[in-house]
Amino acid sequence: MAKQRSWLPAIGLALYGCFWATASVAGWFADRPFYYLIRGNWINDLSQSSTRWLPPTETLMTGAALVFLLLGAYESILPLSGAARTLRACATAATRLDELTRRAPAVEDPIAPRMLSGSGELRVEGVGFRYAADQPWVLRDAELCLPAGESVALTGPSGAGKSTLAELLVRFQDPERGRVTIDGIDTRELTQRLLRGAVALCAQDSHVFNTSVRENLLLARREADDGQIARALAAVELDRWAAELPHGLDTIVGQDGELLSGGQRTRIALARALLAPARFLILDEPTAHLDAPLAARVMENLLAVCEDRGLLVITHDAASLEGFDRALRLEHGSIERRRAALPAALA
């Protein structure tokens, strides 16, 4: 290392000499008119002037100015290639945004919306749904009743339509047949804001935003205090983890929660749903990415904190059905009742 450092003064001196040589030559050219340079006599004059050790001060200053002018011009155009790439990327993104804004929404608010009574059931009545007219039915005459204060588990094979049913309950889609009601009112007669204030969905792919833990949770309820946040985190077994974060609840979680594990992302979204002041909670695979002991504790906590709400839990884990008031199975488009404590081997 010391040997390498001994060369630094020599390298610096060489660069210094190159700079002044360039400045001298550029200054000498600056004192000659253009036609003089073309004529060709400048070669002899240059060879004669090379015997001088230093150029005049005016010449030196002019040459230095030319050198810095060239460097400045180069630096000014250097970012243009990157700007062109950014412009192309922005144009592509703008095209996608334009397509999204022009796309017709899947559902629309009614012209004369109705209000909720604040008491009643969430029901699915003879619902049939398919994503397109030429595609098979996902749901056929599906029936479901979820009273407030009751917990229901919904199982079924992958692709059976469980997540589709959850989307219908919060009106991300409208059924082609039948209807979904809350307090006896068809959800198509309610504004989306009012409905989703009464029915909260924690989807399997719920998004975690590039902000702090606190801000991610307050999306569900802006007025929530630290005590409410702490209880929500404790219900999903994240209270100790949050206390050990370098900045506590103000720790940034990264883009799409990239600084979190899969289980932590899932439980932050779950805690956010628990903070929502909704009467009904729809939880799609709330224990995904969790090991069996942790999943069992989280499920037990959920049943305890949601005892005054209507709770629908969509799960593949048939071993976690114990403790629910009812257990249902969705298969071939219809919903059937099953025993709550069915062994996992028979799921």
Model confidence at 25: pLDDT above 50: yes
**pTM above the 0.85 mark?**
no
Whether 183 contacts 190, CB under 8 Å: no
In CATH, the architecture of 121-346 is 3-Layer(aba) Sandwich (3.40)
Q: Where exactly does CATH 3.40.50.300 map onto the chain?
A: 121-346
DSSP assignment of 165-233 equals: HHHHHTTSS--SEEEEEETTEEGGGS-HHHHHHHEEEE-TT----SSBHHHHHHTT-TT--HHHHHHHH
Banded model confidence at residue 206, pLDDT cuts 50, 70, 90: confident
- Interatomic CA distance for residues 192 and 198, integer angstroms: 10
Residue 289 has pLDDT above 90, yes or no: no
In the structure, what pLDDT confidence band is assigned to residue 99 with cuts at 50, 70 and 90? Answer: confident
What's residue 88's pLDDT?
84
Model confidence at 124: pLDDT above 90: yes
d(CA 199, CA 193): 10
pLDDT score, position 164? 94
**Token representation of residue 110:** 């009614």
